[in-house]
Amino acid sequence: MILVTGGTHGIGAAIVQQLAAQGRPVLFTGRDEAAGAQVQAAAAGSRFFMADMARPEQASAALAEALQLGGGRLEGLVNNAGVSSRRAFLDTDLDEWDRVMAVNTRAVFQLTREALPALLDCGGAVVNVASIAGKVGEEGLATYCASKGAVIALTQALALEFGDRVRFNAVCPGQIGTRMMSRVVADAQRLQRLVRRIPAGRLGEPQEVARTVAWLLSAEASFINGAVLSIDGGETAGYRTPA
């Protein structure tokens, strides 16, 4: 069994569908019951479990359900659930900080810690969905950057601590065409400016991230541990001269 958090939209939904297409049983979480039903219907072998990762008891319940369905086995964990926050730093209060950290960072810590015994038993793998915003700063995204930077650091630390039995890797999507992207980028002009930063000349697709995540969970990536892979069309490769 593989547990995927935040699997009802965007990158998460694509991950669920990719794993299901490979015949791998998946339990995925989300807060949108209607969307969860749609993803489950489109991904044979998947199961939706409604849960808010900001609520520790619901995260624990999702893990318990995954273990029950998997007969106690957990072969993979994908910490994908996330929320965004575009706000000037001086306009960001503690409530906003706590809201973002609860989902993007604390839930990753909690769920990974609780899932580790089962992962250790069967030599599983963990993929944390971070962001290029965790590797480089961006104006107006200080809280989001901090939350994803913490995920990257946690991934690398756990890869060192448990890498002989469980592999830990992180993917860092760049500008991917998802619902979250549409919320962060409110107008066409800003979107055009973002695309100009990307050497590939376009937004990424959720499926491109999903294929990488599925590979990292597979035996084909058996010697990949502690990696932080940017999936960004080259955006963070270096500085581009403005056109």
Confidence grade of residue 126 (pLDDT, cut at 50, 70, 90): very high
Neighbours of 46 (CB within 10 A): 23
Q: Quote the pLDDT of residue 242.
A: 66
CATH architecture of 2-231: 3-Layer(aba) Sandwich (3.40)
Mean pLDDT of the chain: 93
Q: In whole angstroms, what is the distance from residue 201 CA to residue 187 CA?
A: 18
Question: Can you give the residue ranges of every domain in the chain?
Answer: 2-231
Q: Quote the pLDDT of residue 168.
A: 98
Which range (63-67, 185-189, 202-206, 216-220) has the least confidence?
185-189
Q: Which residue did the predictor score with more confidence, 180 or 44? A: 44
Confidence grade of residue 189 (pLDDT, cut at 50, 70, 90): confident
pLDDT at 182 over 70: no
**What 3-state DSSP class applies to 230?**
strand
pLDDT at 243 over 80: no
Which ranges in 70-217 belong to alpha helices (H)? 94-101, 107-122, 142-162, 179-184, 188-196, 206-217
Q: Give the residue numbers annotated as catalytic, written as ranges.
A: 144
pLDDT at 160 over 90: yes
